[in-house]
């Protein structure tokens, strides 16, 4: 795969994520100011809980399916149909389980149950993963990016309309569900336009399902534990702290998560290229992985600096006095940015090397560590305690724990080169850019 193709795919994914970042910030700011910390906290809690339940639909297949599409293009229809059906069933189970939780935990609170109802609908429309993988394998990220931009723009318009209509918090949940439905419909429309078979002609294979589920099981468990220690803080704050603390933490968490779209965009674009280099030679793969770590760490450090020096006055102006704790919480959460960025690359490495078992253990320890620290810190420090628990558990699960296994220790060393010597990381990136320019000029 040429670097030009990688660059084009990265550009489209970055455009999608830039639009998402801009819309997310503006809409989150307006919605948070309109609803206030208590209502916004309830809204965020419902969808954070939905994210934990929705991980059932991940099944560990997302990155795995990209690899399968590339290795077995003649079986694409069978792979696609099998994965889609598996995800649809899993998401249906997740949505039903979410509603059961809502009815048991919030009996007698119709507003909370309505929020969870729309969150469940959003889960049901989350089956685009198989289609996105199909586009990624063909290096056609333009189309899912366009579908994502359309859906997020419509979602933003709906939320702004709800504010203009002085609507209640439930309308904002309905906008989220509508955005998910539009994302699914538009992604499928692009899939058909690019020559994909109609959904009724997709094939499904029980044998293929068992094979994929078997290989994806460990990836699924790792993804589940990762989601738990990212989202469990809001759930614990709902039950262990005040509505004001939950609302402030929810805004800080959303702002920190918007930054995470950048490494996802980069690693998604280069994933097929990493697979190619892995199949060519171990030395080439290690070199490219080191460069990817270098790039992500430098961007992560820039993210921390941006939060420290830019976020304070902006947050005070756009969110208002009710959210006076957001900057402090975001400053704590920003310390996890380099590890969040490295995690995106680590996930791709795990899929390529098929070393899922170790990852499950690491992520399980990270989830347990987050919950244990939350139980210890939240009663005493509130939202700040939840933020510290998230940073510590994320840093351990992404970086620190890699030192304990001989199979992951080379990754620990490579990440350490980037984290502890950022100037050397910059130099390696500069040398790579120079080398690439020289090769282009010599052609």
For the segment 341-390, what is each residue's pLDDT rounded down to a tens digit? 898 888 888 878 877 778 788 888 888 898 999 899 988 888 889 899 98
What per-residue string of b and e applies to 414-426 under the rule 16 or more CB within 10 Å gives b? bbebbbeebeebe
The 10s digit of each residue's pLDDT in 87-133 is: 888 899 999 999 999 999 888 889 999 999 999 999 988 877 778 77
Q: Is residue 442 part of a domain?
A: no
Find the mean pLDDT for residues 77-86. Answer: 82
Give the C-alpha separation, 69 to 77, whole Å: 9
* pLDDT of amino acid 177: 92
- 443 occurs within a structural domain: no
**Structural domain that includes position 240:** 3-435
Cβ–Cβ under 8 Å, residues 309 and 229: no
Residue 443: predicted pLDDT: 53
Domain contains 126: yes
Question: What gap in Å lies between CA 400 and CA 291, rounded to an integer?
Answer: 20
- Mean pLDDT, residues 8-36: 73
Helix (H) or strand (E) segment spanning residue 434: helix 422-442
pLDDT at 1: 46
**How far apart are alpha carbons 3 and 194 in whole angstroms?**
23
Q: Which of 21, 43, 28, 396 minimizes the C-alpha distance to 234?
A: 43
The least confident of 63-72, 171-180, 242-251 is 63-72
Tell whether the model's pLDDT for residue 197 goes beyond 80.
Answer: no
Measured N-to-C along each axis, helices 261-280 and 3-54 cross at an angle, to the nearest 10 degrees, of: 120
268 found inside a domain: yes
DSSP H stretches of helix in 260-355:
261-280, 282-306, 312-319, 326-334, 337-353
Separation of alpha carbons 359 and 365, rounded Å: 10
Residue keyed to tokens 């590339």: 70
According to the model, what pLDDT value does residue 15 have?
Answer: 65
Supply the pLDDT for residue 79: 79
| Cβ(297)–Cβ(341) below 8 Å | yes
- Residue 321, number of CB atoms within 10 A of its CB: 6
**Residue 74 burial by CB count (10 A; 0-12/13-18/19+): exposed, middle or buried?**
exposed
Quick one: average pLDDT of 180-207?
81
Task: Confirm whether 123 is domain-assigned.
Answer: yes
Residue 214 lies in a domain: yes
Query: What average pLDDT does this structure show over 423-432?
Result: 79
Report pLDDT for 8: 60
Say if 261 falls within a structural domain. yes
Percentage of the chain modeled with pLDDT above 70: 91
Give the mean pLDDT of 393-406.
88
Which pLDDT value is given to residue 151?
87
pTM beyond cutoff 0.85: no
Helix (H, G, I), strand (E, B) or coil at 344: helix
Encoded tokens for 73? 């293009």
- Alpha-carbon distance of 70 to 409, in angstroms, equals 29
- DSSP structural state of residue 321: G
What pLDDT does 63 receive? 67
H or E element in which residue 97 lies:
helix 76-105
Specify the pLDDT at position 212: 76
One DSSP character per residue, 15-68 reads HHHHHHHHHHHHHHHHHHHHHHHHHHHHHHHHHHHHHHHHGGGTTT-HHHHHHH
Taking the C-alpha atoms of residue 311 and residue 259, their distance in angstroms, rounded to an integer, is: 13
Cβ neighbors of 195 (< 8 A, separation 6 or more) are none
* Contact in structure between 231 and 48 (CB atoms under 8 Å): yes
Please tell me the predicted confidence (pLDDT) of residue 97: 93
What's CA 220's distance to the chain center, in Å?
14
User: In angstroms, what CA-CA distances link 404 with 189, 340, 389?
Assistant: 47, 20, 21
9 — pLDDT class (breaks 50, 70, 90): low
Range among 221-235, 242-256, 363-377, 427-441 rated most confident: 363-377
Is residue 440 situated within a structural domain?
A: no
State residue 110's pLDDT score: 92
pLDDT at 407 over 90: no
Domain count, the chain: 1
pLDDT at 100: 94
Residue 251 has pLDDT above 50, yes or no: yes
Q: How many residues does the chain have?
A: 443
DSSP-assigned letters across all residues of 354-421:
T-HHHHHHHHHHHHHHHHHHHHHHHHHHTHHHHHHHHHHHHHHHHTGGGGGSTTTHHHHHHHHHHHH-
């Amino acid at each position: 795969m040429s670097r030009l193709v990688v660059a084009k795919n990265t550009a489209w994914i970055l455009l999608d994520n830039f639009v998402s970042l801009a819309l997310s910030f503006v809409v989150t700011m307006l919605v948070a100011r309109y609803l206030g910390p208590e209502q916004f906290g309830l809204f965020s809690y419902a969808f954070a809980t939905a994210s934990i339940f929705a991980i059932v639909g991940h099944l560990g297949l997302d990155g795995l399916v990209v690899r399968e599409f590339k290795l077995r293009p003649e079986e694409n229809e069978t792979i696609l149909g099998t994965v889609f059906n598996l995800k649809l069933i899993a998401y249906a189970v997740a949505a039903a389980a979410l509603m059961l939780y809502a009815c048991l935990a919030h009996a007698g609170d119709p507003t909370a149950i309505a929020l969870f109802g729309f969150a469940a609908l959003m889960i049901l429309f989350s089956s685009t993963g198989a289609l996105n993988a199909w586009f990624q394998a063909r290096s056609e990220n333009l189309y899912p990016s366009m579908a994502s931009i359309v859906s997020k723009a419509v979602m933003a318009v709906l939320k702004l309309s709800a504010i203009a209509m002085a609507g209640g918090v439930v309308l904002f949940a309905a906008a989220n569900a509508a955005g998910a439905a539009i994302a699914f419909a538009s992604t499928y429309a692009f899939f058909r336009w690019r020559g994909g078979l109609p959904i009724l002609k997709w094939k499904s294979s029980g044998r293929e399902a068992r094979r994929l589920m078997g290989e994806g099981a460990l990836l699924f468990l790792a993804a589940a534990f990762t989601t738990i220690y990212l989202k469990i803080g809001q759930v614990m704050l709902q039950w262990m702290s005040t509505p004001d603390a939950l609302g402030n933490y929810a805004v800080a968490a959303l702002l920190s998560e918007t930054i995470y779209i950048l490494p996802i965009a980069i690693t998604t674009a280069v994933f097929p290229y990493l697979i190619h280099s892995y199949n060519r030679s171990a030395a080439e793969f290690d070199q490219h992985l080191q460069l990817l770590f270098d790039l992500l760490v430098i961007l992560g450090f820039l993210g921390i600096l941006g939060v420290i020096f830019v976020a304070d006055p902006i947050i005070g102006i756009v969110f208002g006095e009710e959210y006076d704790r957001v900057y402090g919480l975001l400053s704590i959460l920003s310390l996890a940015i380099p590890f969040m960025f490295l995690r995106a690359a680590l996930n791709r490495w795990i899929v390529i090397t098929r070393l899922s078992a170790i990852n499950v253990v690491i992520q399980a320890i990270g989830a347990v560590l987050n919950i244990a620290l939350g139980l210890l810190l939240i009663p005493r420090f509130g939202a700040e305690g939840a933020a510290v628990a998230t940073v510590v558990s994320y840093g351990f699960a992404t970086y620190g724990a890699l030192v304990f296994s001989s199979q992951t220790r080379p990754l620990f060393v490579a990440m350490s080169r980037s984290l502890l010597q950022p100037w050397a990381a910059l130099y390696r990136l500069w040398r790579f850019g120079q080398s690439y320019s020289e090769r282009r000029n010599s052609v």
